[in-house]
């Protein structure tokens, strides 16, 4: 897959001029995924996680299709992909599969992810915290998600009771590194929204995974990503927000992409 700056956008311009033939830009991806592929995930591990207090939103009935694909080019070994089942551009309700492919080309981890919230860091102090640029904030050893924050987002009391119990917050521990502070992973995300790479976006990222144990001993990830938008469909566009996403590990044998 040609994850180059504005590759699809250049092809779109050529297509408007009648130059060249349509070429797919979503080939050679892990698990044989393509835009439009049907995704079937066995729900039993997700249902168990939900019953054990996870904040994950369960999939709808029927298999969704992949509507966009991205690669996160970060300063880590291996490759990180996101197969979007819902982009969340307008309603902040992203759903995606996140795949980590190790240096040997093997898919070592798959997470089923749903978005919890999106916030806008409006002050310079907030932006420093969510980029970890001053040695604190994103990259700290732990992050506490507060019940009140999600109540303000409209989450039902029954969901919050299952996730928080009698506590006011849920504490997640940083999933990488040791010590008081680890700088967040940095890089870019290039997302294509159609097979020809004509639509999509590019953004700068600051990313850190956190995790906690659920009531049944399973693991729930909290992925915090500060996204600085650079372009949409090849046109420059600026913006910044922070996405909070929860993810549950899914075994590959429970996942079918066709």
Tens of pLDDT along the chain (258 residues)?
343 443 444 344 444 444 444 578 888 899 999 999 999 999 999 999 999 999 999 987 777 999 999 999 999 899 999 999 999 888 878 999 999 999 999 999 999 999 999 999 999 999 999 999 999 999 999 999 999 999 998 999 999 999 999 999 999 999 999 999 999 999 999 999 999 888 999 999 999 999 999 999 999 999 999 999 999 998 999 999 999 999 999 999 999 999
Residue range(s) defining the domain that contains residue 98: 7-257
> What's this model's pTM, rounded to 2 decimal places?
0.89
Q: Of 155, 135, 139, which is closest to residue 147 (Cα–Cα)? A: 155
Distance between CA atoms of 195 and 34, rounded to whole angstroms?
A: 8
Domain count, the chain: 1
Residue 1 lies in a domain: no
Coil/strand/helix, residue 32 = helix
Residue 48 lies in a domain: yes
The whole-number pLDDT of residue 24 equals 83
Judge whether 213 and 24 are in contact, CB under 8 Å: no
The whole-number pLDDT of residue 26 equals 87
Residue 113 lies in a domain: yes
Q: Of 90, 114, 101, which is closest to residue 33 (Cα–Cα)? A: 101
Q: Which residues does 229 contact at the CB level (< 8 Å), separation at least 6?
A: 201, 203, 237, 238, 239, 240
Residue 207 lies in a domain: yes
The whole-number pLDDT of residue 3 equals 37
Residue 26 lies in a domain: yes
The whole-number pLDDT of residue 17 equals 40
Distance between CA atoms of 66 and 191, rounded to whole angstroms?
A: 12
Q: Of 17, 18, 27, which is closest to residue 196 (Cα–Cα)? A: 27
Coil/strand/helix, residue 46 = helix
Q: Of 145, 114, 122, 138, which is closest to residue 206 (Cα–Cα)? A: 138
Alpha-carbon distance values, 124 to 119, 128, 133, 136, 188 (Å): 14, 6, 11, 14, 21
Residue 86's CB is within 10 A of a number of other CB atoms, namely 16
Residue 2 lies in a domain: no
């Amino acid at each position: 897959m040609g994850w180059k700056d504005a590759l699809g956008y250049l092809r779109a311009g050529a297509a408007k001029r009648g130059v060249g033939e349509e070429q797919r830009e979503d080939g050679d991806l892990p698990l044989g995924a393509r835009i439009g592929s049907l995704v079937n995930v066995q729900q039993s591990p997700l249902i168990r996680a939900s019953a054990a207090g996870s904040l994950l939103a369960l999939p709808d009935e029927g298999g969704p299709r992949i509507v966009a694909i991205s690669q996160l080019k970060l300063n880590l070994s291996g490759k990180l992909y996101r197969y979007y089942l819902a982009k969340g551009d307008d309603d902040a309700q992203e759903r995606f599969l996140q795949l980590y492919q190790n240096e040997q080309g093997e898919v070592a981890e798959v997470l089923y992810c749903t978005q919890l919230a999106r916030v806008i860091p409006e002050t310079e102090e907030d932006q420093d915290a969510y980029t970890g640029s001053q040695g604190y904030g994103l990259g700290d050893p732990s992050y506490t998600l507060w019940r009140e924050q999600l109540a303000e987002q409209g989450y039902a009391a029954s969901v919050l009771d299952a996730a928080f119990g009698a506590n006011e917050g849920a504490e997640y521990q940083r999933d990488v590194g040791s010590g008081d502070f680890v700088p967040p992973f940095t890089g870019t995300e290039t997302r294509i929204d159609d097979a020809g790479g004509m639509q999509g976006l590019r953004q700068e990222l600051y990313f850190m995974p956190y995790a906690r144990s659920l009531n049944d001993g399973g693991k729930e990830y909290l992925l915090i990503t500060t996204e600085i938008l650079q372009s949409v469909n090849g046109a420059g566009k600026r913006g910044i927000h922070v996405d909070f996403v929860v993810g549950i590990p899914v075994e590959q044998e429970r996942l079918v992409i066709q």
